[in-house]
Structure 1
Amino acid sequence: MSYSALEQHFEQLHHLQHLGAICGWDQATMMPPGGNEARAEALGTLAVLCHRQLQDPRLGDWFARAESEPLSQEQQQSLAEMRRAWRDATLLPADLVRARSLAGSRCEHAWRSLRPANDWAGFLPLFEEVVALSREAAAARSEALGLSRYDSLLELYEPGMRTQALDTLFGELSGWLPGLIAEVQEKQRLETVLSPQGPFATDKQKALGLEVMSWLGFDFHHGRLDVSAHPFCGGVSEDVRLTTRYDEADVAQALMGIIHETGHARYEQGLPAAWRRLPVGQARSMGVHESQSLFFEMQLARHPAFIARLSPLLARYFGDQPAFEPGNLARLYTRVQPGLIRVDADEVTYPAHIMLRYRIERDLIEGTLAPRHLPERWNQLMQQYLGLSTEGNDKDGCLQDIHWTDGSFGYFPSYTLGAIYAAQQAEAMQQQLGPFERLIDDDLTAVFGWLEHHIWRHASLCSTGELMARATGHVLDAAPFRRHLEQRYLG
């Protein structure tokens, strides 16, 4: 059967992608600096091999024949996802795929030292090459798919999502978010909040993180935790690699980062084993993926009931102190304060960081913004959205994220889409199972069961809209997100 041949072919592709994922993890965590050029070449070659696997001339015939074979509903969806992956690969020539991989590896590696040095001038030539190649890829995809250049890249991360929908969504958020930020800040102005007193030894922070990961159900037989310059979740479902970064003056940064990445990891580990080596067995979209990490970090970990259970752990690892009292921790972990750094932002101001990046990356790809003007544009939007300046401070401005270094344009909207999806899931879950206070006291078993039943097991067997409608009764809907923020921060 042609469908069986397709399954075998895409399983081989999965094995190559598995190797690439682990090599990428090693590059970010353990590889010595002198190995980067060779690693970039190796990953570039691997990218070409994966691309060739997807451009195999036999695939067109196999797809045509498989359409007439007796397939189950799941196999039909699997066929559609394989066809989508094939379509995406055939849009770009192999030399462009290799050039993008090389430029991305070089730019990301240089970023690791250029960002701390606040060296925009040194970063710019590398970034200009990444942008130029990303525009070339977007142009090819745009022409073939009949989409705008930016939408053609957005399709890679959020299938079916379009700029028009994002403009409407972000316009809606912009209408009420600034007022909410101001109102919450005024409410919190008179609150007394104690900051935990360090230092917090890195080895103890790691031990605490591992214990919390166990509590959250992470399977250490199929994954591990390491350190990188930028936290991420990588690897494959059978071997999930999490990373964080530690600051001995701030225990919350690494802990909340670990909880966030554990949400990603539980989704990966919860994907259906029978489909993991095929496109249909992968995460539905990056928005859905982010909904899982933000569900863990924001909906659960900052809930008073969760914090009440976290409080004695902090005291056990770092000694009892007034700042670890549950009420103080709850106030501390829900402070709303506009800041420069996206990954440190509270959940109320976080969407502003995403709307800023969305506008910039859209204009970079569409060609209305030149890379050399990025710092100036960043500063303008930062002042507009959050009232802060990054003039002369590019390391905390346009150099702070890793995403654009390898050409991941179109990814950033997924973060706010994920926050909205997470709020929808939390609201629906509590309507069906009861309040989080009870679910957290019951050791989170029901929470994970709901997520497994409604999100994880479905992988890419249906669209994002269908997935959310079945789980929550609605497709993308910002109303639960607003209700969540108003309830948590205004009472």
Structure 2
Amino acid sequence: MSWQKLDELGHGLEALSHAQNFLSIDEAVSMPAGGGEKRAEAVAAVAAIIHERMTAPQVGDWLEAAKQEGLEGDKARAIEEFERVYVSQTCLPADFVRRKTLATMRGEQTWRKCRAENDWNGFLPALEEIVKVAREESQLRAEATGFAPYDALLEQFDPGARTATIDPVFDRLKGFLKDFVPEVLEAQEARHARRPLRPVEGPFPIAAQRELGLAMMKVLGFDFEHGRLDVSYHPFCGGVPTDIRITTRYREDDFLTALMGTMHETGHALYEQGLPAEWSHWPLGHARGMAVHESQSLFVEKQIGRNPAFWEFALPEVKKHLPMLDDWSIEDVLDHILLVKPGFIRVDADEVTYPLHIILRYEIEQLLIAGEMQAADLPEAWDARMRDYLGLSTLDNPKDGPMQDVHWPGGAFAYFPSYTLGAIMASQQWAAINSEMPDIEDDLRRGDVTRLNDWRRDHIWSKASRLSTPDLMQAATGSPLDAEVFIDHLKARYLR
């Protein structure tokens, strides 16, 4: 029976993915520097085995046969999702995959060196080759799926997402934010004139910060029987649902960076821990794309972690671990975690200005993929949008402009929209919960997230990849992607 053969394949792929995940996690968390070359070889070898098994010709035969077996319900949907992943894996010829891998490996290595030296001209030839490869990939994927080229790239990160849906939402959000940011800055300046921003003064012992992070993870519902917290240079969430690893990084002069980062990664982890165990070895049982994943991390970081009601519970807990903050008020904390400050760097941006960083990249990479902009045009195009959207110029500073992110050097075109799509989705989920449970902030004041997690488990986590990204949000919140909900959220929070 073809179903049984695919089920057995899924178990084997799951085991290999488990091994691949933890080779990579160990590299980031505890591998000595000298182990890098052999570790890369090991990860590449496992990845090759996974790809070979996933794309074997008989897999296509099994999928075709399974579609004739009269399967219904989850089994029928499981075959559809498996086929979607199979097409995504097999639509790129082996020689192209080799060329792409070589271009992106060279691109990332060149990017690291040239960004440190602010050397745009040195980086440009590598980027030109990566853009050429990305255009070719978009065409290959478009031919295999029937989607428009950029939509075919989007499908890799957020199944069902299309520019026809995203464009009007981002246009509305951009138009709003260009006027809203100055309004917020004016209100913020007036507030700080009445009560100046209190400086964050350490040192905050790292051991105490770690214990605080662990305490907040427990409050948020993290399952320590199936996960743990570590330290890495770049915070991340990885592993498998039965063994989730999250990492953070600490600064002795600032307790909020590690705390909010830990909460963000906990949001990712809760999603993984909430996926249906019975489908873990099928694509159907995996998380539904990057935007939905980001919506879960941002829900915890933004909707919970930056909610004044939550801080009525959280501040006393923070003071237990960091007694040097004993005379801090909730307003002192809110002034920091809700601070709006336009800047050059996306990863450091606040909740209000961050979407403009994403929209800028989304607009530019569509033009690059369509061939309507060349890589050499990037510094001027980037600078024009930064000046228009945030009032900042990057023309003579490419390392903080088009060279600041690893995504394009790594060939990840169409990934950026996921970040702001996730923020919008998180606000829609919060609005839906508030509609059903108008007293939900009373729960936050007690540090009780039970009802919040139950709702997300029922509407998001347990659904896994049964639905496309748009259909999942429609089913969960009762509405399609909607900028107005996110706009209302920003108005309520930042014009307080």
Query: What TM-score range do you get, normalising by the shorter chain?
Result: over 0.9
Aligned to 1:291: 295
How many angstroms apart in 2 are the aligned matches of 1:77 and 1:284?
14
How many angstroms apart in 2 are the aligned matches of 1:392 and 1:315?
44
Greater mean deviation of Cα atoms: 101-110 or 47-56: 101-110
2:492 to 479, 482, 487: 487
Aligned to 1:166: 166
1:197 to 189, 198, 201: 201
State the secondary structure of the residue aligned to 1:226. strand
CA contact (8 A) 1:37 1:106 kept: no
Aligned to 1:47: 47
How many angstroms apart in 1 are the aligned matches of 2:453 and 2:125?
46
* Shift of residue 469, structure 1, vs aligned partner: 2.1
CA RMSD for the aligned pairs?
A: 2.4
Aligned to 1:308: 312
Kindly, what percent of the aligned residue pairs are identical?
A: 47
Evaluate the alpha carbon distance shift between residue 8 and residue 210 of structure 1 in structure 2; reply closer, same or farther with a 3 A threshold.
same
- What amino acid does structure 2 have at the position aligned with 1:486? K
How many angstroms apart in 1 are the aligned matches of 2:238 and 2:111?
19
Aligned to 1:216: 220
How many angstroms apart in 2 are the aligned matches of 1:289 and 1:30?
26
Aligned to 2:356: 352
* Alignment partner of 1:464 is 2:484: no
* Alignment partner of 1:435 is 2:439: yes
CA contact (8 A) 2:311 2:445 kept: no
* Alignment partner of 1:4 is 2:8: no
* Shift of residue 92, structure 1, vs aligned partner: 0.8
CA contact (8 A) 2:358 2:416 kept: yes
- What amino acid does structure 2 have at the position aligned with 1:189? E
* Shift of residue 440, structure 1, vs aligned partner: 0.9
* Alignment partner of 1:264 is 2:268: yes
Aligned to 2:149: 149
Greater mean deviation of Cα atoms: 311-320 or 326-335: 311-320
Evaluate the alpha carbon distance shift between residue 132 and residue 15 of structure 1 in structure 2; reply closer, same or farther with a 3 A threshold.
farther
Deviations 1:347-368 (A, max 9, x none): 1111101101112222333333
CA contact (8 A) 2:161 2:469 kept: no
CA contact (8 A) 2:386 2:393 kept: yes
Aligned to 2:77: 77
CA contact (8 A) 2:288 2:469 kept: yes
* Shift of residue 118, structure 1, vs aligned partner: 4.1
State the secondary structure of the residue aligned to 2:408. helix
Number of positions where the alignment pairs a residue of Structure 1 with one of Structure 2:
491
How many angstroms apart in 2 are the aligned matches of 1:227 and 1:118?
29
Aligned to 2:411: 407
* Alignment partner of 1:386 is 2:390: yes
Aligned to 2:423: 419
Question: So what's the TM-score if we normalise by structure 1?
Answer: 0.92
* Shift of residue 247, structure 1, vs aligned partner: 2.9
CA contact (8 A) 2:303 2:430 kept: yes
How many angstroms apart in 2 are the aligned matches of 1:256 and 1:437?
19
Question: So what's the TM-score if we normalise by structure 2?
Answer: 0.91
* Alignment partner of 1:445 is 2:450: yes
CA contact (8 A) 1:10 1:278 kept: yes
Alignment map for 1:356-367 (pairs within 5 Å): 356-367=360-371
State the secondary structure of the residue aligned to 1:224. strand
Aligned to 1:332: 336
Deviations 1:148-183 (A, max 9, x none): 322211111111222232221111112212222122
2:234 to 216, 230, 233: 230
* Shift of residue 238, structure 1, vs aligned partner: 1.9
- What amino acid does structure 2 have at the position aligned with 1:69? E
State the secondary structure of the residue aligned to 2:341. coil
CA contact (8 A) 2:312 2:445 kept: no
Structure 2 segments unaligned to the other structure (5+ residues): none
CA contact (8 A) 1:51 1:94 kept: no
How many angstroms apart in 2 are the aligned matches of 1:384 and 1:64?
51
* Shift of residue 279, structure 1, vs aligned partner: 0.2
Aligned to 1:255: 259
How many angstroms apart in 2 are the aligned matches of 1:227 and 1:316?
22
State the secondary structure of the residue aligned to 1:356. helix
* Shift of residue 33, structure 1, vs aligned partner: 4.2
Aligned to 1:398: 402
* Shift of residue 63, structure 1, vs aligned partner: 1.6
CA contact (8 A) 2:235 2:249 kept: yes
How many angstroms apart in 2 are the aligned matches of 1:370 and 1:36?
35
State the secondary structure of the residue aligned to 1:404. coil
- What amino acid does structure 2 have at the position aligned with 1:232? F
State the secondary structure of the residue aligned to 1:225. strand
* Shift of residue 104, structure 1, vs aligned partner: 4.0
How many angstroms apart in 2 are the aligned matches of 1:101 and 1:38?
18
State the secondary structure of the residue aligned to 1:324. coil
Evaluate the alpha carbon distance shift between residue 18 and residue 98 of structure 1 in structure 2; reply closer, same or farther with a 3 A threshold.
farther
Deviations 1:319-351 (A, max 9, x none): 334773112212221122212222222211111
